[in-house]
């Protein structure tokens, strides 16, 4: 089958390849650049297969010491194709940097392959405008 996953060959020194984008490339992290404290932040991470065969890929994320996982554990990705992983988390009461990693399956384990970060700022709330008026009480 054309999109049947294959085991990826490990090229050279594996330690030198971590986060080098050997077989995958994180092509984008899409979501808000700012969010209010307590709001749900929805993130879309696009990962492209840069190899000639199909294989399994997964993505993880981390911010402020908190790990986040996508709605789907892993996907089979065809050659040259891009897949999307979706995350959501609750925005803390401060600016954060979101780290995202892609991994490929190389029997018997997942190998870290690419890394990207984005900053998400805490939204500053504008005070609500409370209209004002002048009342003339001098008239009888």
Confidence of residue 19 (pLDDT cuts 50, 70, 90): low
Instruction: Please report the domains of the chain, with CATH numbers, ordered by start residue.
Output: 16-122 (2.60.40.10)
Residue 15 predicted with pLDDT over 50: no
Confidence (pLDDT) at 22: 85
With a pLDDT cut of 90, the percent of the chain lying above it is 68
b (16+ CB within 10 A) / e for 86-108: ebebebbeeebebebbbbbbbee
Q: Which of 30, 12, 14 is nearest to 82 (CA)?
A: 30
Phi, psi for 74 (deg, rounded to 5): -160, 165
- Mean pLDDT is lowest, of 13-17, 18-22, 99-103, for 13-17
Q: What gap in Å lies between CA 62 and CA 72, rounded to an integer?
A: 16
Q: Are 13 and 44 within 8 A, CB to CB?
A: no
Arithmetic mean of pLDDT, 11-38: 78
Q: Strand locations in the chain, DSSP E?
A: 24-30, 34-35, 40-49, 55-63, 66-68, 75-77, 82-90, 96-106, 109-122
Confidence of residue 27 (pLDDT cuts 50, 70, 90): very high
Arithmetic mean of pLDDT, 13-41: 82
């Amino acid at each position: 089958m054309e999109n049947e996953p294959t085991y990826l060959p490990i090229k050279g020194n594996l330690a030198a390849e971590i986060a080098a984008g050997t077989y995958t490339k994180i092509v984008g992290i899409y979501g808000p650049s700012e969010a209010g404290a307590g709001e749900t932040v929805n993130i879309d991470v696009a990962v492209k297969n840069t190899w000639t065969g199909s294989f399994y890929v997964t993505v993880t994320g981390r911010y402020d010491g908190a790990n986040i996982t996508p709605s789907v554990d892993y996907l089979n990705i065809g050659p040259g194709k891009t897949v999307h992983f979706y995350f959501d988390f609750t925005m803390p009461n401060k600016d954060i940097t979101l780290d995202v990693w892609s991994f490929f399956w190389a029997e018997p384990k997942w190998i870290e392959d690419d890394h990207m970060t984005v900053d998400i700022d805490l939204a500053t709330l504008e005070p609500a405008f409370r209209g004002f008026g002048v009342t003339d009480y001098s008239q009888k």
